[in-house]
């Protein structure tokens, strides 16, 4: 690797050990290069020069004026009880008006010496009012010695970079450190191929680094950001393109379904026709399965768009071709649910080796951590002998004991809940790398998918099957309008009276384990709102509502006489399964649950969902939850109960969820609010987000173009032998942790 000596230089050699230590510990900056890539968050303008007569309130201003008067006062205060407090009041004038400056405490000494009557200076600060008079508290100032107009102009017009800082290291100290290392920027190796840079009119890297840290004009900042965004997008896309290229070199067993087999029999059994979207996505998957290198495909679709059916058809195609298929689900409830719905959809096709099984049948086994020993032994045997073509399970599938006869396809449901290691361990169970299909019901905007799952080809299911009903969603402001909550419970009773069922979702379980503030919880009574928080003051908010308490209050209050059941993650697996079965069979009217029902739970007769403390859930999570109702022919209703005030951001989020059923639109809103640290952060890559100036949603075009450019570069030179700058940048992006992440993907 070509070392870049100046940028590899450790900061402790350049800045001294104390500053370097703080930078390493608090900002993760170790080398000169790290510091050069620690960009300003924004720029403060010292303000255009303002006349004292027309000072605006609460704005940053810069004024040039003469000191008319300066007085030091002492006073007593809590901090300085013996009259030792000091306050310096300086009055300045520019001929158009007068303004008071104040300095307190230790801050008085320097200005007391320097700001003598008659001195001219520039002052910059924020205008406030004290005792009905305008003032600047602790302004920055620069004494004007030779009264040159030039000094005034350049000082006032300067753009002051403000850096992401910490309590231990203020922005201006970081700025000074950057000033020290800035000359090294000249030696930065450019990761962008020259032709790409010139073709897009981007400035060279050394110039971009200079302009982002020391801009003369706003145009400088724009030039620098445009260039640095390209670096981030391009280097990340090259990493992913190299993964795709390497995967394409791996061997895999092509799995092609025969014309008359399990898949054909299954299709004949379906009581409905596939949507055009399902057909198109199935074709993409079947083409991949027939190839001689492993499929890596992301299947994302709206809640209820029939992803499971598409995945099942792919699994059956693999069984037809003599292989086995495994579906990995994030929770036991979901694994059981998938197992139940798949065996129901397959009927006698799932009874391989049994009396009454169909000609092309196979066995479908369930494998979870809580199964009894005998059932588990049988399941393991069926997998090892190849008797079972399909297995549905939780991470119990990954354990060493589990042996497959010939694993051909792995389907991972809800990718974001699975660690990379788990995916990797399951893939390692094939004789050759199995094909991989990753499903997610959280719609991901295309660019995010390209950035996070850039190594996966993406298929999207965006139309709902015929017969699915629309879901009406409404926000119920329980604190402002308690009668709305009372009406919500009436609506639940009306739906139950029509023979339908309801979910009530709460953020917490409510047993001691998760409840430090036992007994502090609010009420969910018929008319009253729960608890009561000030306008969004986190500190004063009551604990989130809990399943056990809410179920109890509803059964005794507004829903008395209805059959109310409880479901949460700490129940025994058998109990959970029994509750779900009773609810699915219609033996319970209302299910009060935590988010264990978020994914995959399918009860077509459930038409209404009330989400308590809805503001405590994320946008995507609310959309997921809402997808559990309206799954039959009757229309669905989702009520989002909140106590947050009208103007709060939380209410804005809930209004957005209520306003659209388009998951892709909601995921954009979600991302714009959360930024992409969460998307590329800990959960996905095991390292902090590498994005500094690139915003996934705003910069969609750059990401899409960078992906194309990266694919072309990698196709022409997979080892990047002719692009040393790009190799160096890749090494910096892919520290060992990320490299392993991408290896395993």
For residue range 683-738, list pLDDT tens digits in order: 333 233 456 677 766 777 888 888 889 999 999 988 888 888 888 888 777 654 44
**pLDDT value at residue 451:** 64
90, 115 Cβ separation under 8 angstroms: yes
Exposure class string for 389-425: b at 16+ Cβ within 10 A, else e: bbbbbbbbbbeeebebbbbbbbbbbbbebbebebbeb
**pLDDT value at residue 361:** 85
pLDDT greater than 80 at residue 144: no
Q: Which residues contact 663 (CB under 8 A, 6 or more apart)?
A: 302, 303, 442, 443, 620, 623
Closest by alpha carbon to 602, among 445, 453, 465?
Answer: 465
**pLDDT value at residue 97:** 82
pLDDT greater than 90 at residue 219: yes
Q: Tell me what percent of the residues of the chain surpass a pLDDT of 90.
A: 28
**Cα 476 → chain centroid:** 26
Range from 156-165, 237-246, 579-588 carrying the lowest mean pLDDT: 156-165
621, 595 Cβ separation under 8 angstroms: yes
**pLDDT value at residue 723:** 87
Alpha helices by DSSP H, listed for 270-357, are 276-289, 307-320, 332-346
Closest by alpha carbon to 680, among 243, 225, 205, 233?
Answer: 233
pLDDT greater than 50 at residue 63: yes
- What is the rounded average pLDDT of the residues 107-120? 89
553, 584 Cβ separation under 8 angstroms: no
195, 15 Cβ separation under 8 angstroms: no
**Cα 78 → chain centroid:** 45
Radius of gyration of the chain (CA): 32
Exposure class string for 78-88: b at 16+ Cβ within 10 A, else e: eeeeeeebbbb
**pLDDT value at residue 284:** 95
Query: Which run of H or E residues covers position 208?
Result: helix 205-213
Q: What pTM did the predictor assign?
A: 0.66
- Band of the pLDDT at 188, cuts 50, 70, 90? confident
**pLDDT value at residue 249:** 82
Token pair belonging to 14: 């350049």
3-class secondary structure for 470-511? CEEEEEEECCCCHHHHHHHHHHHHHHHHCCCEEEEECCECCC
644, 671 Cβ separation under 8 angstroms: no
213, 161 Cβ separation under 8 angstroms: yes
As separate numbers, helices (DSSP H) first and strands (DSSP E) second, the chain gives 28, 21
**pLDDT value at residue 145:** 73
Give tens-digit pLDDT for 67-94: 999 999 887 766 666 667 888 999 998 8
- What is the rounded average pLDDT of the residues 431-451? 76
Rounded to 10 deg, the angle between the 332-346 and 262-269 helix axes is 80
Range from 129-133, 361-365, 374-378 carrying the lowest mean pLDDT: 129-133
Token pair belonging to 41: 């968050």
> DSSP letter at 585?
T
Query: Which run of H or E residues covers position 593?
Result: strand 590-593
Instruction: Indicate the Cα dihedral angle 304, 308, 313, 318, nearest 10°.
Output: 160
- Band of the pLDDT at 154, cuts 50, 70, 90? low
**Whole-number average pLDDT of the chain:** 80
């Amino acid at each position: 690797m070509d070392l870049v000596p100046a940028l590899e230089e450790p900061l402790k050699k350049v800045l001294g050990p104390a500053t370097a230590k703080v930078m390493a510990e608090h900002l993760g900056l170790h080398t000169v290069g790290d510091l050069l890539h620690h960009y300003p968050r924004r720029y403060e303008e010292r303000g255009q020069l303002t006349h004292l007569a027309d000072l605006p309130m609460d704005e940053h201003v810069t004024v040039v004026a003469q000191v008319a008067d300066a007085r030091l006062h002492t006073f007593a205060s809590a901090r300085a009880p013996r009259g030792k407090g000091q306050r310096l009041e300086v009055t300045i004038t520019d001929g158009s008006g007068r303004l008071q400056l104040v300095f307190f405490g230790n801050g008085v000494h320097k200005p007391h010496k320097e700001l003598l009557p008659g001195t001219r200076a520039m002052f910059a600060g924020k205008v406030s009012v004290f005792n009905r008079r305008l003032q600047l508290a602790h302004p920055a100032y620069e004494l004007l010695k030779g009264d040159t107009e030039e000094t005034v102009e350049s000082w006032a017009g300067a753009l002051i970079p403000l850096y992401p800082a910490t309590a231990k290291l203020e922005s201006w100290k970081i700025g000074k450190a950057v000033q020290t290392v800035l000359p090294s920027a000249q030696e930065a190796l450019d990761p962008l191929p020259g032709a790409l840079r010139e073709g897009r009119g981007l400035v060279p890297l050394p110039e971009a680094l200079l302009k982002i840290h020391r801009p003369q004009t706003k145009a400088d900042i724009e030039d620098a950001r445009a260039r640095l965004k390209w670096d981030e997008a391009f280097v990340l896309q090259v990493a992913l393109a190299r993964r795709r290229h390497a995967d394409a070199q791996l061997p895999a067993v092509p799995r092609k379904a025969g014309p008359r087999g399990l898949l054909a029999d299954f299709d004949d059994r379906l009581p409905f026709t596939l949507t055009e979207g399902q057909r198109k996505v199935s074709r993409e998957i079947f083409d991949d399965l027939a190839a001689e290198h492993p499929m890596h495909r992301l299947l994302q679709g709206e809640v209820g768009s029939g992803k499971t059916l598409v995945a099942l058809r792919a699994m059956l195609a693999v069984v037809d071709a003599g292989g086995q298929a495994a579906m990995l689900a994030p929770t036991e409830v979901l694994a059981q649910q998938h197992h139940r719905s798949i065996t129901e959809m397959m009927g006698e096709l799932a009874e391989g080796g049994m009396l009454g099984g169909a000609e092309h049948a196979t066995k479908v086994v369930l494998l979870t951590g809580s199964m009894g020993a005998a059932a588990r032994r049988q399941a393991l045997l069926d997998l090892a002998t190849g008797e079972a073509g399909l297995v549905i399970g939780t991470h119990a599938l990954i354990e060493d004991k589990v042996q497959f006869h010939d694993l051909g396809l792995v389907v991972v449901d809800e990718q974001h809940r699975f660690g990379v290691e788990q995916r990797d361990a399951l893939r390692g169970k094939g004789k050759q790398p199995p094909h991989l299909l990753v499903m997610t019901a959280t719609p991901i905007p295309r660019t995010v998918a390209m950035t996070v799952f850039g190594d996966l080809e993406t298929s999207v299911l965006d139309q709902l099957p015929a017969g699915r009903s629309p879901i009406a969603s409404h926000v119920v402001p329980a604190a402002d309008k308690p009668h709305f909550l009372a009406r919500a419970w009436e609506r639940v009773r009306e739906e139950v009276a029509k023979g339908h069922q309801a979910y009530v979702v709460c953020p917490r379980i409510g047993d001691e384990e998760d409840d430090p503030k036992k007994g502090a919880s609010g009420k969910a009574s018929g008319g009253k709102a729960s608890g009561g928080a000030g306008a969004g003051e986190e500190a004063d908010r009551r604990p989130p509502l809990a399943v056990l308490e809410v179920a109890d209050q509803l059964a005794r209050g507004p829903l008395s006489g209805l059959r109310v059941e409880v479901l949460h993650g700490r129940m025994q697996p058998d109990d959970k399964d029994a509750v779900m079965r009773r609810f699915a069979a219609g033996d319970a009217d209302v299910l009060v649950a935590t988010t264990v029902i978020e994914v995959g739970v399918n009860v077509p007769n459930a038409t209404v969902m009330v989400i308590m403390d809805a503001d405590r859930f994320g946008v995507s999570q609310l959309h997921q939850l809402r997808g559990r109702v309206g799954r039959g022919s009757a229309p669905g209703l989702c009520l989002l109960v909140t106590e947050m005030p009208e103007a709060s951001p939380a209410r804005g989020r809930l209004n957005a969820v209520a306003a659209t059923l388009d998951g892709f639109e909601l995921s954009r809103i979600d991302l714009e609010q959360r930024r992409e640290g969460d998307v590329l952060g800990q959960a996905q890559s095991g390292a902090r987000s590498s994005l500094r100036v690139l915003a996934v949603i705003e910069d969609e075009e750059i990401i899409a173009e960078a992906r194309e450019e990266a694919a072309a570069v990698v196709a022409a030179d997979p080892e990047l032998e002719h692009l040393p700058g790009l190799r160096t940048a890749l090494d910096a992006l892919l520290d060992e942790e990320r490299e392993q992440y991408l290896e395993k993907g």
